[in-house]
Structure 1
Amino acid sequence: MNMGSTDRGASDDQISSLPSWKYKAINTNLELEHDWDCNPRNIKEDPECCICLAKYKDKEEVRQLPCSHMFHLKCVDQWLRIISCCPLCKQELEK
């Protein structure tokens, strides 16, 4: 079984179309600073990437999937190239 088959992974265009921004920690209130013109929103979940298990650090790039789960950009991009679904809930990316 070839886990890196092209029919299971997402294309670079699919991955780059997903929203990404730089993580921003402000005091004890953790917030996100978006690349687009939206107000930052508070994170209510534990601020760590479930792929690498490391906490998000200030100014690290993060990416959000359509299911709203968030990961380090580099971690989730690598994951999506292998299999095009969320590592947590397994929701598929739209083709």
Structure 2
Amino acid sequence: MQAMVDLCRHLQGPHASRVAVVMKLLNQVIIYNLWRERNARIFRDVSMTQEAFYKVVDRGIKDRLLSLPSVSASSPSLLELYFWIASPYS
């Protein structure tokens, strides 16, 4: 968690503040889905594979970012920034 905070603080470049927004939202989506996975394992004795968990997180962040309006035509959307962040892990 501290690594994520440090990363957001030290981002540089023209879109650093928007990348930080995406990183914070990604962190929230991961924590929420970890909590859901934990509850499913404890109360329903059901678990997901790592790949399934990644797909749930990926879908959740994409859905949220698609619902947000674009700031301007010249700057990349938050969804485009997410694709830039997530592409090495796909």
Q: TM-score if structure 2 supplies the norm length? A: 0.26
Judging by fraction of residues, say which structure has more helix.
2
Judging by fraction of residues, say which structure has more strand.
1
Q: TM-score if structure 1 supplies the norm length? A: 0.25
